[in-house]
């Protein structure tokens, strides 16, 4: 068997089309959704991500600001920026790009973001709502995974899902979302990680395997069962002398080794990545809708 490729670009395009319609509805009422991205330091991957988000905003009619600060920025200065964005009526979504320099406590910054403008879904207020199934600003990458599965009619209900990775950004939230008593959930979920024993035995149980480890090609063909759905969240740079950039992007999954065994598989790039930006745009518009509704 050969897997069906799960096309994140296609699904993200459909979501963005719906987002653009929502933006136009808000603009007809005199409201333009606004997103501010704060970039501290000169990490090239972070700069690329922020640039992609600004470009998406421009395409969809969302107002955007990119605030750049040097790596020497203090925590107090960054918190001050966040507080000013909280008070700015033109801004409905605030994104502080990770990773931050070592002198800054990321959680301390997150706690100062107005939960209504927390379009990453990382504030404990929004994490708590997600855990009880009441969240509306959900973490972008996990929510994007759900939307991908929904598009391809991959219903997780009653199926065994193994999430490899326990980050607060992907692993924990996708597990929490998939165990909800709700549509596109009701799964039996196992979280595996770097301390899991006999990892291959755990992953081979999965009807749906979600790899969010951050290490290239960790999941091999021998680690999945026949017909498994494989969702690869990883984006890793590996050196490649033949490339003009000097590197190429690969996932946490050995795509070639799993392709003939899986039923569905996401590519890297072009799988989960485009969904993250699409869901960020959706969250920004959701925040604008909520804020404008409560202020009217």
Closest CA to 8 of 173, 141, 185: 141
Written as one string, the DSSP assignment of 119-171 is TT--SHHHHHHHHTT--SS--HHHHHHHHHHHHTT---TT-EEEEE---TTTH
Q: Is 151 left (phi over 0), alpha (psi -120 to 50) or beta?
A: alpha
Cis peptide leading into residue 269 (ω within 30°) = yes
Cα–Cα distance between 201 and 67 in angstroms, integer?
46
Q: Active-site residue numbers?
A: 53, 97, 120
C-beta of residue 209 within 8 angstroms of C-beta of residue 228: yes
Could you say which DSSP state residue 240 is in? -
Q: How many residues would you count in the chain?
A: 296
* 238 φ/ψ angles, rounded to the nearest 5 degrees: -120, 140
């Amino acid at each position: 068997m050969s897997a069906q490729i799960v096309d994140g670009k296609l699904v993200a395009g459909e979501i963005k089309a719906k987002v653009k319609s929502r933006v136009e509805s808000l603009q007809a009422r005199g409201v333009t959704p606004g997103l501010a991205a704060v970039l501290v330091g000169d990490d090239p991957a972070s700069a690329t991500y922020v640039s992609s988000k600004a470009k998406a905003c421009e395409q969809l009619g969302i107002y955007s600001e990119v605030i750049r600060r040097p790596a020497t920025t203090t925590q107090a200065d960054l918190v001050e920026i966040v507080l000013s964005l909280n008070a700015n009526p033109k801004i409905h979504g605030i994104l502080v790009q990770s990773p931050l320099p070592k002198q800054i406590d990321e959680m301390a910054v997150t706690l100062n973001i107005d939960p209504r403008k927390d379009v990453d879904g990382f504030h404990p207020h929004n994490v708590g709502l997600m855990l009880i199934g009441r969240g509306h600003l959900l973490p972008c990458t996990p929510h994007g995974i759900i939307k991908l599965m929904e598009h391809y009619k991959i219903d997780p209900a009653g199926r065994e899902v193994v999430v490899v990775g326990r980050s607060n950004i992907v692993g924990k939230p996708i597990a929490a979302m998939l165990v909800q008593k709700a549509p596109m959930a009701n799964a039996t979920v196992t979280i595996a990680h770097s301390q899991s024993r006999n990892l291959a035995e755990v992953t081979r149980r999965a009807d749906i395997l979600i790899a969010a480890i951050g290490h290239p090609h960790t999941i091999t063909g021998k680690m999945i069962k026949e017909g498994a759905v494989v969702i690869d969240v990883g984006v890793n740079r590996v050196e490649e002398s033949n490339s003009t950039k000097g590197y190429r992007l690969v996932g946490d999954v050995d795509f070639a080794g799993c392709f003939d065994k899986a039923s569905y598989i996401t590519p890297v790039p072009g799988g989960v990545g485009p969904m993250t930006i699409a869901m960020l745009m959706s969250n920004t518009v959701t925040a604008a809708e909520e804020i404008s509704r409560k202020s009217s």
